[in-house]
Amino acid sequence: MGHYDDLRAHGRATATLASVARLLAWDQETYMPSGAAPARADQMGAMATLVHERKTSPRLGELIEACEQDRSLAGDPASETAAEVREFRRDYDLATKLPGDLVAELARVGSQAQEAWKKARADSDFAQFRPWLEKMVALTRRKAECYGVPEGGELYDALLNEYEPGATAAEIEAIFTPLGERLSALVAELTTNGTHPSEAPLELDIPADRQHEFGQFVLRAMCFDLGQGRLDVVTHPFCEGIAPGDTRLTTRYREERFTDALYGTMHEGGHGIYEQNLPRGNFEDVADHYGSPLGESISLGIHESQSRMWENFVGRSLAFWEWALPHAQKILGSGLERFRPEDLYRAVNTGKPSYIRVEADEATYNLHVMLRFGLERALVRGDLSVADLPGAWNERFESLLGIAVPDDRRGCLQDVHWSFGLVGYFPTYTLGNLYAAQLWETIQEEIPDLEGEMRKGDFGGLKLWLASNIHHHGRRYRAGELCERLTGRALGADPLMRHLEGKLRPIYGTG
């Protein structure tokens, strides 16, 4: 089994090198001075080249082939080692399709484009960002062309495959179209026939430092280990799993609406818990798979299911606020003392169209995702030019959500993703919501007193279920396969709609 040990050693060394690049990226988004941007772009390009060289090494290909021919490793397709070798092969085949100069250019231009996006967003001026987005779209299309169009598919599928292996744009469209219609009908029902709950509990001025303290308090209760992670402030929140024992979370604060930061923190905390409980030597009785596919997350759809579950199924529940409100009153003050848990529960569960995706309520959130899916698919196809993006965004946004976009900052400049080439990423947010809802129904069956535990602030049982059933498998299973193994059925929209209708109709008095 020497070739197997050598394969894992190669993967570990590559992962260590890649972790340095992730640390550089995290620093750029948090503490890097703006004057360092040109040098950071060169650093990111150099690191991307080094990592790509290791991922495409002929020696790595030889080791994978030797493991594939070893029946003790790959003879049983259902075994862990066979899955590990299969995923090493997938990664190698994808990486070797990309020329090194393209990988370096994507990293270098992406770093520069991020800085341009930050300034353009602050100035609400798309024109500043347009030339950089044009470069990134061109580079991203070139990357997709290198991957190749899957049989019967389209160029966008090649990009989607990076984030949600095996998924296609046509399949996602087939899910999104009827789901969008059901969501739009629900929002129309709530806004036309219902009584909008009071949002007074959210309209308080609460200093950012108190919000930060409360966010860390909630993270600890969620079982995110702050001894192996941290929480910082950025323009666009994200989670970065840098290495074992080092998971970085970020959030942003609005003093006039404290729940925006709270739910952003819980969302990124859900990602962080997944990262901390992958089998990288820090999960009880699970081997150390750092640098192996078995130490990595299955897909972004499953990753998003974890963040959206903690943010919405936990954080927007009445049981959560029955536990959290007394602590919030103590830490945050500022008038929260006059509200009941029911007041917070109703205030954070609305169905009202708004401009910003990351601040959208559960009922409208997926409409924001569908907008982006359609636009980036058109950009990749060449049906939409970057110059026409703001107009197309504004037109489709008003059609989907019924409100006019007031400026670029609250329109096509609000998300950071396209600035560094994350095209094909957005659909995974809605896939995550669908997975979360379906998994949640199973979790409720298998943890009968889950609501009672949450009411006491005891989230250990939930975290253990997620770690045991999802996190510690790494990439042993495909996302759809894991969903069926855990829930007994293929992914569908009914659980999410049951969740939303069952919660929002009573709150609005429509059912």
Any idea which residues carry the catalytic annotation?
268
179 three-class SS? helix
Is-contact 270 233, C-beta < 8 A?
no
Separation of alpha carbons 361 and 442, rounded Å: 24
Q: Which residue(s) pair with 248 in the sheet?
A: 230, 240
Is residue 12 within 8 Å of 290, Cβ to Cβ?
yes
Token pair belonging to 75: 């003879």
DSSP 272-303: HHHHHTSSBS-STT--B-TTSGGGS-S-HHHH
- Rounded Cα–Cα distance for residues 214 and 204 (Å): 15
CA-based end-to-end distance of the chain: 62
| Number of Cβ within a 10 Å radius of residue 38 | 12
| Phi, psi of 285, rounded to the nearest 5 degrees | 65, 20
CB distance 365 to 357 below 8 Å: yes
Distance separating alpha carbons of residues 52 and 108, to the nearest angstrom: 14
Tokens of 11: 């993967």
- CA dist 195 to 347, 418, 497, 506, Å? 12, 38, 20, 10
Asked whether 166 and 478 are in contact (CB, 8 A), the reply is yes
Alpha helices in 300-449 (DSSP H): 300-308, 318-332, 341-347, 362-381, 389-401, 427-446
For residue 367, CA distances in Å to 61, 264, 440 come to: 42, 19, 22
Contact, 82 vs 68, CB < 8 A? no
Which residue is associated with the tokens 């003879």? 75
Edge-to-edge strand ranges of the sheet holding 246-251:
229-233, 246-251, 239-243
